[in-house]
């Protein structure tokens, strides 16, 4: 027989899952929120998103090709996803060069310097965002008003405080209603305005088994319970739990940033511990810290704890002795 | 519908040959009978080169307690005693017999008449099974008589018949049930007598409704034999998973099924037991599914042990032009063969011919730490970690992370979106750690 | 002003307190040890390769200091220079030892050993060896997947793309033995480097019977024992259809190389023979083996199908 057969170890068939499929599903899940934010903030939102995605892609290509000298990994869609998530954390009036710096930090420092996809410890988009927040605090905290807010306010003001900003300042009476926050009648970054659109995306991800419920649910439940305890203790000082759930980047963070495969724990029990940690830290920073938004820092801190969580939180074994 | 609780996957069924009834394959010109077709010590030869043997004659005796007899599947002259490459890819001791006619040993009853009565004692039954060289025909090839002899202090309370056939493509057990149902039921009753149990359960995956109905019908007059349909869920046919699905009990790590009072036997083994006990016929042939998307005439064949795989592929219409891999067994746990000269052994349940396009593995990426392998593992292990530790040869930590629990089912590698060769490294790690553990005991 | 004073006093006080704690701990928990261990360790290469047989350079240093003599103790990486320095520190004489080098005992290149199947599993020799006998008919030969290259800390091994097999860089090889342990086929051996870096060895580990081995690879050893008969120094043993030259007994007369009908025996770094142009064409190309001695370097890329006369020209020095 002249034919040279292939010989390998079993299994000889493979499921049709791939890295790219998972990344593109997440990108698709973010499209409703993108549409809402473009409606809310106009063309600047689209521009910010485009610049962010383009910079991330270009930086990943350049670094992979010239610094790491490896075949490029752009087709797996992770650079596009990082760009999209970074954009969702930015105000729509951010100057283009700041966005490019953010992309460089996100891709170059937080992802490629660790060895590329799969090797990074911290969520790249969040590292980019936090870097920009600390380096350009003024530009990063000037939030344009949404179309709906401008129409409703009747003033000429183009920027204003976000609900979290109001909470930090103690101005609870000026908070928008829960419905407003759900539908996007609030200010904030691109990704903060549309809790409902984000929920649609999350349901899509859950149905396609791209993510599991453990991380988002444990974060949101923890935030709710902890905020409720604080609120019941001192309603003047601490906002109510529903407001906490619907404001800021919590929805985006809990469903899309914390669920990032690379930086979150692998076993389900570990994911719940991780989610609880993020929830507690978020409320702590929001209520007692000096920053209005706590989700980004909470996730980054828990990213650092993930390896220890992986070490101690193991999945349930078959035939494990009952305790 | 019942199934096991941890992990598992749903590969495509691909049961192309489910409707093809069993066809006898013509005898080969030369039979190559391997001497190591079972778990345990290789069998010891009792014949010499040049001897003339009959079909069913003893060729080699069991080499220890955990071993099995090997009988000649054909009649003819022993051409040489040498080595042949088997499914492991290494040359192994084998007997080469030039086939002439089909002269059977006298004691074997060749009629098709159904023999319902068995008057032997349990010990006699087990002895007859041992003499016939019967091993687990689901692929594990564990000597059946050893499984039927529980160690002192351990008692079996349930006999489980594994008719699950969860591997894609394979249909040998399915056809066997449809065509030899009554014999199988008698075989089950013989095994129940041998073990001294009063209950048996036949586990069948729900994608074989005709077999389920037939077995239910055949066991109506035996209320102690239950037919249990099981959810389609790979690896439902794994011993531990089957026991959990049937009885709800998980075999503890490091223990055997008999420790929870269960004995599992493949349905093909049960049929061989019937033939051995009622017809004095040793294990010399089996049903093999020959399948593949590009084969002209895939089917289920009754094949003598020792037939070269080339003969089976010929009978199925010849090797297709675009063939890339030939697999002995199913696609999840089968072994890729180096050539078509490899002979059929007692555990060869199928021959799968894959196209070139399907045969090549996809490019490998770094682990993206998605955790899907953990979700897929039916033993609740962490394949990403075990594979990384095995790659870095950290044997002590590998042992602590329960590598020895791995059943090598392949669910992890099937699921991994980064196409990482998880099972490759885990297998080697398990072999090395196993060797270390065995050397410690000495 | 007050604030500065308070800050100075408080912080200075804390600093002083901590300094006292650290100093006391360092004195109380001090481990007495022979200062020579540190001195010996300082002259060692620091590769921690384990080639000496001890756990790391520290382990070797301890062993040297504790022992009465330096017999049996040698750092293969540092060689004679380092052992002399160790001897000076400890006032002992280092044992004489001939330097060794790693040798790959397989010549089964793509041309000599035809491929019969295509390996598609994980790229590791450990895995391939566990799976099956390899891509060729010889299940003892080199798998070419580079586990040895990965494990060599000194960069002495690299895969030659022309032959698909590893090549030993004699300058860099420290005979630490890592490749010997890493190769699942046991193809590497540490043999004496030899005078002028010359050595002779059987470059084959095939234990199959003659006809089977020959069918699988052109230069396989068939165990014909012609070499054994030719050797006047009883250096060659034949076991399981395979010849082996004991490097302790070999006198480098090269008679076995001429006798071998298969060309399995390699003579490395020898000058070319003047007379044997026509007689043994099978042995000649072996001088041009891609075992990377500095001389042999340019020959490494030459295919073995080169005409017989060619290899002699670059070898002539």
- What is the pLDDT averaged over residues C127-151? 92
Comparing A143-157, A204-218, A234-248, B338-352, the range with the smallest average pLDDT is A143-157
Tell which of B330, B359, B388 closes a domain: B359
Residue A187: its pLDDT value, please? 65
Mean pLDDT of B74-83: 93
Tokens of C114: 């035809």
The CA distance from B420 to C122, in Å, is 9
Residue C310, pLDDT score = 40
Beta strands B58-61 and B91-99: pairing type?
A: unpaired
Task: Look at A5 and C117 and tell me if their CB atoms are within 8 Å.
Answer: yes
| Eight-class DSSP state of B359 | H
Q: Residue A211 and residue B190: Cα distance in Å, rounded?
A: 50
List chain A residues with CB under 8 Å of B379. Answer: 317-319
Q: Is the pLDDT of residue B235 over 50?
A: yes
For residues B145 and B164, state if they share a domain. yes
Helix (H, G, I), strand (E, B) or coil at B287: strand
Min Cα separation C125/chain A (Å): 13
In sign, the C-alpha dihedral spanning B189, B195, B200, B202 is negative
Report yes or no: B414 at the A interface, CB cutoff 8 Å.
yes
Q: Is A8 on the interface with C (CB under 8 A)?
A: yes
Q: According to the model, what pLDDT value does residue A246 have? A: 80
Distance CA A237, CA A280 (A): 17
CATH of the domain at B300: 3.10.20.600
Residue C105 has pLDDT above 60, yes or no: yes
CB contact under 8 A, C132 and B91: no
Asked if B146 contacts B185 with a C-beta cutoff of 8 angstroms, the reply is no
Model pTM greater than 0.95? no
Nearest to B168 by CA among B13, B358, B294, B333: B13
3-state secondary structure B100-167: CCCCECCCCCCCCCCCCCCCCCHHHHHHHHHHCCCECCCCCCCEHHHHCCCCCCCCCCEEEEEECCCC
> Does B211 lie in the same domain as B173?
yes
Least reliable range by pLDDT among A204-213, A234-243, C150-159: A234-243
Which ipTM value was assigned to this complex?
0.91
Burial code (b: 16+ CB inside 10 Å, e: under 16) for B79-98 equals bebebbbbbbbeebbbbbbe
Substitution target in A72, A73, A319 with the highest count of B β-carbons within 10 Å is A319
Which chain C residue lies closest to A10 (C-alpha atoms)? C121
Q: Are C266 and C286 in contact (CB under 8 A)?
A: yes
Using the predicted structure, report yes or no on whether residue B422 has a pLDDT greater than 70: yes
Average pLDDT rounded to a whole number, residues B141-152: 92
Tell which wins on pLDDT, A300 or A190. A300
Same domain, B355 and B381: no
Q: Mean of the per-residue pLDDT values for chain B?
A: 94
Partner residue opposite C131 with nearest CB, options A4, A5, A9: A9
Residues 107-126 of C with CB under 8 A from A: 115-122
Long-range CB contacts for residues A166-170, cutoff 8 Å, separation at least 24: A167/A239, A167/A243, A167/A247, A167/A286, A167/A292, A168/A286, A168/A292, A170/A237
- CA dist C247 and C245 (Å) reads 6
pLDDT tens digits, A250-262? 889 999 999 999 9
Cα–Cα distance, C191 to C194 (Å, whole number): 8
Q: Are residues A74 and A20 in contact, defined by beta-carbon separation less than 8 angstroms?
A: no
Chains that touch A (3 or more CB pairs under 8 A): B, C
**Band (A181; pLDDT cuts 50, 70, 90):** low
How far, in Å, are A26, A147, A250 from residue A32 at the CA level?
A: 11, 17, 17
Could you read off the pLDDT of C223-250 as tens digits, one per residue? 998 999 999 999 999 999 999 999 999 9
B341 and B240 part of one domain: no
Contact of B434 with chain C, judged by CB distance below 8 Å, is answered with no
Residue C316 pLDDT greater than 80, yes or no: no
Q: Which of B88, B424, B431 sits opposite C121 (nearest CB)?
A: B424
- CA distances (Å), A184 to each of A149, A152, A158, A189, A248, in order? 10, 13, 16, 11, 11
How many folded domains does chain B comprise? 4
pLDDT of res. C152: 92
Nearest-Cα distance to chain A for C150, in Å, is 19
**Where is average pLDDT lowest: A92-101, B196-205, C49-58, C194-203?**
C49-58
Neighbours of B, requiring at least 3 CB pairs below 8 Å, are A, C
Phi and psi at residue A49, to the nearest 5°: -60, -45
> What mean pLDDT value characterizes chain C?
83
Interval C9-38 mean pLDDT: 92
Residue C292 has pLDDT above 50, yes or no: no
Select from B359, B387, B417 the last residue of a domain: B359
Contact state of A118 with B333 under an 8 Å Cβ cutoff: no
Residues B341 and B402 in one domain: no
Q: Would B314 be classed as within a structural domain?
A: yes
Extract the runs of DSSP E, i.e. beta strands, from C156-256: 157-160, 165-168, 188-192, 199-202, 236-239, 242-245
CA C271 to chain centre: 23
Residue C121 has its nearest CB partner, among A4, A5, A8, at A8
User: What residue ranges define each of the domains in chain C, with the CATH number in brackets?
Assistant: 35-90 (1.10.15.40), 100-268 (3.30.70.20)
Domain boundaries, chain A: 19-140, 162-312
Q: How confident is the model at residue C301 (pLDDT cuts 50, 70, 90)?
A: very low
Q: Which residue of C has its CA nearest to A1?
A: C116
- Answer yes or no: is pLDDT of A126 > 90: yes
Residues B83 and B158 occupy one common structural domain? no
Q: Tell which of B82, B86, B325, B336 to mutate to test the C interface (max C CBs under 10 Å).
A: B336
Do B204 and B257 reside in the same domain of the chain? yes
**Using 50, 70 and 90 to split pLDDT, how confident is the model at C302?**
very low
Residues of A with Cβ-Cβ distance to C135 under 8 angstroms: 7
Residue C298 has pLDDT above 60, yes or no: no
Residues B411 and B302 in one domain: no
pLDDT, position A71: 84
Q: Does residue A99 carry a pLDDT above 70?
A: yes
Q: Does A145 sit behind a cis peptide bond, omega within 30 degrees of 0 on the bond before it?
A: no
The separation between the first and the last C-alpha atoms of chain C, rounded to the nearest angstrom, is: 85
B256: nearest CA partner in chain A:
A319
Q: Yes or no: say if C160 and C144 are a contact pair by the CB < 8 Å rule.
A: no
- How big, in percent rounded to 5, are the helix, strand and coil portions of chain C? 35, 15, 50
Residue B405 touches partner A, C-beta closer than 8 Å = yes
The verdict on B139 and B261 lying in the same domain is: yes
Query: B240 near B229, Cβ under 8 Å?
Result: no
**Domain presence at residue B21:** no
Rounded-to-10 torsion of CA C16, C19, C20, C21: 120
Check if the beta carbon of residue A186 is closer than 8 Å to that of residue A193. yes
Q: Cα–Cα distances in Å, from C266 out to B73, B197, C108, C180, C206?
A: 48, 68, 13, 19, 15
CB-based contact, B26 to chain C, within 8 Å: no
The minimal CB distance from C122 to the residues B88, B89, B425 is found for B425
| Cross-strand pairs, B96 | B32, B80
What digits encode the pLDDT tens for the residues B383-405?
999 999 999 999 999 999 999 99
Assess whether B348 and B380 both reside in one domain.
no
**Could you tell me the residue range of the domain that residue B148 belongs to?**
122-279
Do residues B305 and B265 share a domain?
no
Q: Of the given ranges (A86-90, A138-142, B181-185), which has the lowest mean pLDDT?
A: A138-142
Q: For B286-324, write each residue's pLDDT tens digit.
A: 999 999 999 999 999 999 999 999 999 999 999 999 999
Q: What does the DSSP assignment read for A230-291?
A: HHHH-TTTS--HHHHHHSTTHHHIIIIITT-TTTS-SSHHHHHHHHHHHHHHHHHHHHHSSS
Is residue B143 domain-shared with residue B269, that is, in the same domain?
yes
Query: Are C131 and B360 a contacting pair at CB < 8 A?
Result: no
Query: For residues A28 and A38, what is the distance between their CA atoms, to the nearest angstrom?
Result: 16
Q: Chain C contact for A10, CB < 8 A? A: no
pLDDT at B36 over 50: yes
Strand partners, B76: B53, B99
| The two three-digit tokens of residue A167, written as one number | 């909470």
C23 and chain A in contact, CB less than 8 A? no
């Amino acid at each position: 027989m002249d034919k040279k057969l292939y010989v390998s170890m079993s299994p000889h068939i493979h499921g049709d899952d791939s890295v790219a499929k998972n990344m593109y599903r997440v990108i698709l899940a973010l499209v409703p929120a993108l549409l809402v934010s473009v409606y809310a903030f106009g063309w600047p939102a689209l521009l910010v998103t485009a610049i962010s995605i383009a910079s991330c892609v270009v930086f990943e290509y350049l670094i992979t090709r010239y610094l790491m000298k490896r075949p490029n990994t752009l087709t797996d869609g992770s650079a596009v996803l990082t760009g999209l998530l970074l954009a969702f954390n930015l105000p729509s009036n951010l100057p283009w060069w700041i966005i490019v710096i953010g992309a460089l930090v996100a891709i170059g420092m937080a992802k490629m310097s660790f060895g590329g996809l799969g090797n990074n410890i911290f969520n790249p988009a969040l590292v980019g965002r936090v870097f920009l927040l600390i380096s350009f605090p003024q530009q990063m905290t000037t939030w344009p008003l949404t179309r709906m807010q401008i129409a409703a306010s009747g003033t000429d003001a183009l920027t204003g405080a976000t609900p979290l900003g109001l909470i930090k300042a103690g101005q609870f009476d000026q908070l928008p209603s829960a419905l407003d926050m759900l539908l996007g009648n609030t200010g904030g970054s691109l990704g903060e305005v549309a809790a409902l659109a984000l929920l649609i995306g999350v349901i899509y991800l859950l149905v396609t088994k791209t993510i599991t419920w453990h991380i988002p649910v444990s974060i949101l439940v923890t935030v709710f319970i902890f905020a409720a305890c604080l609120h019941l203790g001192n309603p003047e000082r601490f906002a109510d739990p529903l407001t906490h759930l619907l404001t800021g980047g919590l929805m985006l963070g809990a469903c899309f940033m914390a669920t990032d495969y690379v930086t979150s724990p692998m076993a389900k029990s570990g994911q719940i511990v991780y989610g609880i940690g993020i929830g507690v830290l978020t409320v702590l920073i929001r209520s007692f810290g000096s920053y209005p938004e706590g989700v980004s820092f909470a996730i980054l801190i828990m990213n650092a704890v993930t390896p220890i969580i992986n070490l101690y939180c193991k999945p349930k074994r078959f035939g494990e002795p009952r305790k | 519908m019942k199934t096991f609780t941890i992990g598992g996957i749903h590969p495509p069924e691909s049961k192309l040959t489910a409707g093809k009834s069993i066809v006898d394959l013509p005898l080969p010109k030369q039979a190559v009978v391997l001497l190591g077709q079972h778990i345990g010590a290789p069998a010891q030869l009792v014949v010499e080169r040049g001897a003339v043997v009959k079909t069913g004659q003893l060729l080699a005796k069991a080499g220890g307690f955990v071993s099995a007899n090997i009988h000649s599947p054909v009649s003819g002259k022993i051409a040489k005693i040498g080595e042949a490459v088997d499914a492991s890819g290494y040359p192994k001791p084998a007997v080469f017999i030039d086939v002439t006619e089909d002269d059977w040993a006298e004691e074997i009853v060749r009629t098709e008449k159904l023999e319902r009565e068995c008057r032997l004692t349990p010990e006699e039954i087990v002895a007859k099974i041992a003499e016939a060289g019967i091993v687990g025909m689901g692929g594990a090839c564990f000597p059946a008589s050893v499984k039927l002899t529980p160690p002192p202090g351990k008692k079996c309370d349930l006999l489980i018949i594994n008719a699950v056939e969860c591997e894609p493509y394979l249909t040998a057990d399915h056809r066997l049930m449809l065509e030899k149902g009554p014999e199988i039921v008698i075989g089950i009753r013989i095994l129940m007598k041998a073990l001294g149990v009063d209950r048996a359960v036949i586990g069948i995956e729900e994608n074989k409704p005709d077999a389920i109905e037939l077995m239910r019908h055949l066991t109506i007059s035996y209320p102690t034999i239950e037919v249990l349909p099981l959810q389609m869920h790979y690896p439902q046919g794994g011993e531990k998973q089957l026991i959990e699905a049937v009885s709800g009990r998980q075999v503890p790590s490091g223990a055997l099924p008999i420790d929870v009072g269960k004995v599992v036997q493949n349905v093909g083994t049960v049929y061989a037991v019937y033939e051995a006990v009622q017809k004095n016929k040793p294990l010399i042939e089996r049903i093999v599914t020959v399948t593949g998307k590009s084969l002209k005439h895939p089917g289920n064949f009754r094949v003598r042990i020792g037939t070269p795989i080339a003969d089976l592929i010929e009978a199925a219409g010849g090797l297709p032009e675009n063939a890339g891999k030939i697999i002995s067994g199913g696609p999840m746990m089968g072994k890729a063969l180096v050539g078509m000269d490899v002979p059929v052994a007692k555990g060869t349940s199928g021959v799968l011919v894959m196209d070139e396009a399907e045969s090549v593995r996809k490019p490998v990426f770094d682990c993206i730490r998605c955790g899907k392998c953990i979700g897929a593992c039916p033993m609740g292990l962490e394949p990403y970690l075990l594979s990384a530790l095995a790659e870095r040869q950290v044997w002590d930590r590998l042992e602590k992370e329960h590598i020895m629990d791995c059943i090598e089912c392949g669910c992890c590698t099937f699921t991994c979106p980064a196409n990482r060769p998880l099972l490759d490294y885990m297998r080697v790690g398990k072999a090395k750690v196993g060797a270390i553990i065995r050397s410690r005991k000495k | 002003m007050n604030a500065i004073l308070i800050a100075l006093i408080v912080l200075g006080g804390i600093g002083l307190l901590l300094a006292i704690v650290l100093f006391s701990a360092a004195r109380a928990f001090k481990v007495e040890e022979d200062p020579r261990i540190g001195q010996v360790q300082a002259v060692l290469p620091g590769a921690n390769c384990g080639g000496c047989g001890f756990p790391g350079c520290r382990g070797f240093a301890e062993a040297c200091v504790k022992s009465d003599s330096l017999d049996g103790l040698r750092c293969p990486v540092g060689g004679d220079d380092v052992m002399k320095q160790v001897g000076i520190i400890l006032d002992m004489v280092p044992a004489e030892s001939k330097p060794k080098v790693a040798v790959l005992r397989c010549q089964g290149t793509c041309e000599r050993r035809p491929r019969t199947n295509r390996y598609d599993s994980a790229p590791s020799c450990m895995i391939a060896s566990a799976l099956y006998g390899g891509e060729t008919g010889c299940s003892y030969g080199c798998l070419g997947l580079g586990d040895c290259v990965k494990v060599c800390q000194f960069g002495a091994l690299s895969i030659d793309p022309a032959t698909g097999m590893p090549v030993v860089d004699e300058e860099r090889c420290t005979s630490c033995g890592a490749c010997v342990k890493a190769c699942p086929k046991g193809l590497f051996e540490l043999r004496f480097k030899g005078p002028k870096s010359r050595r002779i060895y059987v470059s084959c580990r095939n234990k199959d019977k003659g006809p089977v081995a020959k069918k699988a690879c052109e230069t396989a050893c068939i165990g014909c024992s012609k070499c054994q008969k030719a050797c006047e120094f009883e250096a060659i043993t034949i076991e399981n259809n395979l010849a082996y030259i004991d490097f302790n007994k070999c006198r480098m007369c090269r008679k076995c190389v001429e006798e071998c009908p298969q060309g399995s025996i390699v003579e490395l770094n020898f000058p070319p023979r003047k007379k044997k142009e026509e007689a043994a064409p099978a042995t000649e190309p072996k001088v041009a083996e891609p075992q990377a001695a500095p001389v042999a370097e340019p020959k490494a890329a030459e295919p073995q199908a080169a005409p017989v006369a060619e290899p002699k020209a670059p070898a002539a020095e």
